[in-house]
Structure 1
Amino acid sequence: MSDLILHHYPMSPFSEKVRLILGHKQLAWKSVLIPSVMPKPDVVALTGGYRRTPFLQIGADIYCDTALICDVLEHRQPAPTLYPEHHKGMARVLAQWADSTLFWAAMGHTLSPKGAAAMFGSQPPEVGQAFAADRSAMRNGMTSLRAGDAASAYRSYLRRIAHMLHEQPFLFGDAPCIADFAAYHPLWFTRVVNPAMAGILDTTPGVLAWMDRMAALGHGQPAKFTATEAIAVAAAADPAPLADEAFQDDHGVALGSRVTVAAESFGTETTEGTLRAATRTHYTLERHDDRAGRLHVHFPRIGYVLKEVRA
């Protein structure tokens, strides 16, 4: 069975979501540290353009977006499950809210002017400037919450999470599920990456206790790996055979067409390739890179835009 290779960087909140899931499932994985800002030539060699963090590599298969990565890890190691049978739909819906609405409120507070000054104040000015410029480019016209509005929303969301935890250790009962991991990582960024802004968490001690339980899951069994080694793994492998899943054509674009896929918002760089699968839940593009060889790059349908490349 091919190794799990996670391309990430330490302060990435979405990476922490996946690292904790790897810990929850006690999986071994290879850790490739990537830059937090562009340029990312080794990333693009594998993804074809997608630059959000993290992404998961298994041989010559590249999985983009943590929603899809979670499904891949669930298939790899079904127990303990991320999707409890009686709460599967609700857990996924809450996770999607946490990865979007909660995340942006948390970032608006934690990376407010005051937060950014605290986070980057001890570093050379160009470090903070490069990070701010990079993230501004990724937002690409998105409406950002002002710091005060973000803090107000964040406080309300923390109280709602606290209510869910009132008489149970995790959001849906006695064990963590996908909703817990999605709700945890924006709060982790506030508490761990920029603790100067973590006072906002103090009014919800039940949330802090839950965060301690989540952190105790650990990160599984990581091993250091380099981007050069990861690219060599891809070059030496063939993409895994695609599962026999029905083609769901919602765009009038046939399999075998030249297409692009990009995120709907935030980090909208496109990946171009040949459409090899469009199932109920995801797209698969085949592409070739001079260093990494033939690759299959996979995206979830939700949150991504498919377009045909017309001559």
Structure 2
Amino acid sequence: MSELILHHYPSSPFAEKTRLILGYKNLPWKSVIIPMIMPKPDVVALTGGYRKTPILQIGADIYCDTALISDVLEHLQPEPSVYPEPSKGMARTLAHWADSTLFWTAMAYNAQPKGIAQIFAKAPPEAARAFGEDRKAMSAGMPRLRPSDATAAYKSYLRRISDMLDDRPFLLGEVPCIADFAMYHPLWFTRTQTPVLADIFKITPAVLEWMDRMAAIGHGDVEKFSSAEAVAVAAACSPAPLHDDLFQDEHGIALGSHVLVSGESFGPEPTEGELIAATRMHYTLRRTDARAGTVHVHFPRIGYTLKAATPA
């Protein structure tokens, strides 16, 4: 197996989800710190357009979205599983809710003035403005919760999570599953990045105890790596052969077509390339970059749109 390279930045909540899964599975990984906002030239050299955080690189294969990254890590290291039976379907469904509804509720809560002030306390004023403009571009057209509405919803969600922990150490049993990692990371952001707002957890001490158990998993064996080195790794490698290549056509777009894959909502920047796989779970595009060479960029099907590229 080629080395695992995670492109991320320390305060990224979705990156924290993946960092903990890497630690849970005891998988050594290389850490490439990327910018929080555009421009991200080295990221785009690898992905062709996708710029959400994190991305996982294995040689010349680039995996986008933590839902797919989690599946890839599970395939590489099946034990301990983040999809333990018999509740695998429930865990995936809860994780999807956490990565969408819970995440955006927590972020709206964190975005009240004193939360923003704490996030950017050590940064110049223009940094907060640039971050706001960057995320505005990524979320164009998305409905936004007001902090007051988010506060009410967040409290309800925390109580529901607490109820799940009444008689067990983790959300669905004796060991953590994908739902734990997905529900943890939005709460982690509130607790660690906007601690001025962390009093909200006082209503649910069981949630705080569970968060301590999750944090204790740690990030495992990490080695610093540069962005330029990661691009050079891609250029020196060939993409791995596709094993799961059963074509599932829902669009009337043939393999080999020139296509665009985009996020359904947040982060709509498209990635353009040749469609070489459309399976039950994911899309794969082949693309060539002047610096990164030929790469395969992989996306989950859920949460992403596929369409034919407009002919030049």
Scaled by the length of structure 2, the TM-score of the pair is 0.99
1:287 corresponds to 2:287? yes
Residue in 2 that maps onto 1:247: 247
User: What are the residue-to-residue correspondences of 1:129-278 with 2, within 5 Å?
Assistant: 129-278=129-278
Aligned residue for 1:202, secondary structure, equals helix
Matched residues in 1 for 2:38 and 2:189: separation?
Answer: 21
How far off is 1:11 after superposition?
0.1
Matched residues in 1 for 2:123 and 2:246: separation?
Answer: 52
Matched residues in 2 for 1:244 and 1:283: separation?
Answer: 11
How far off is 1:121 after superposition?
3.3
Aligned residue for 2:78, secondary structure, equals coil
How far off is 1:146 after superposition?
0.3
Matched residues in 2 for 1:239 and 1:118: separation?
Answer: 42
Matched residues in 2 for 1:270 and 1:219: separation?
Answer: 31
How far off is 1:244 after superposition?
4.3
Matched residues in 2 for 1:112 and 1:181: separation?
Answer: 25
Aligned residue for 1:234, secondary structure, equals helix
Q: Is the 8 A contact 2:244 2:279 kept in 1?
A: no
How far off is 1:310 after superposition?
3.0
Matched residues in 2 for 1:294 and 1:257: separation?
Answer: 17
Residue in 2 that maps onto 1:308: 308
Matched residues in 1 for 2:30 and 2:118: separation?
Answer: 32
Residue in 2 that maps onto 1:35: 35
Matched residues in 2 for 1:268 and 1:78: separation?
Answer: 32
How far off is 1:14 after superposition?
0.1
**What is the letter of the counterpart of residue 181 of structure 1?**
F
How far off is 1:245 after superposition?
3.0
1:120 corresponds to 2:120? yes
Matched residues in 1 for 2:244 and 2:22: separation?
Answer: 27
Deviates more, 1:113-122 or 1:255-264: 113-122
**What is the letter of the counterpart of residue 61 of structure 1?**
D
Scaled by the length of structure 1, the TM-score of the pair is 0.99
Matched residues in 1 for 2:205 and 2:191: separation?
Answer: 13
**What is the letter of the counterpart of residue 129 of structure 2?**
Q
1:11 corresponds to 2:11? yes
Matched residues in 2 for 1:235 and 1:192: separation?
Answer: 37
User: What are the residue-to-residue correspondences of 1:97-116 with 2, within 5 Å?
Assistant: 97-116=97-116
Deviates more, 1:69-78 or 1:109-118: 109-118
How far off is 1:103 after superposition?
0.2
Q: Is the 8 A contact 2:5 2:230 kept in 1?
A: yes
Deviates more, 1:15-24 or 1:193-202: 193-202
How far off is 1:201 after superposition?
1.0
Residue in 1 that maps onto 2:78: 78
How far off is 1:165 after superposition?
0.4
Aligned residue for 1:85, secondary structure, equals coil
Residue in 2 that maps onto 1:53: 53
How far off is 1:123 after superposition?
2.5
How far off is 1:122 after superposition?
3.8
Aligned residue for 1:287, secondary structure, equals strand
Aligned residue for 2:123, secondary structure, equals coil
Q: Structure 1 residues 244 and 103, CA, compared in 2 at 3 Å: closer, same or farther?
A: closer
**Number of aligned pairs?**
311
Cα offsets for 1:118-154 (capped at 9, x unmatched): 3223421111111111111111111100000001000
**What is the letter of the counterpart of residue 248 of structure 2?**
Q
1:92 corresponds to 2:96? no
Aligned residue for 1:230, secondary structure, equals helix
Matched residues in 1 for 2:106 and 2:215: separation?
Answer: 18
Matched residues in 2 for 1:211 and 1:3: separation?
Answer: 29
**What is the letter of the counterpart of residue 274 of structure 1?**
E
Cα offsets for 1:200-220 (capped at 9, x unmatched): 111100000000000000001
Matched residues in 2 for 1:261 and 1:245: separation?
Answer: 18
Matched residues in 2 for 1:190 and 1:287: separation?
Answer: 38
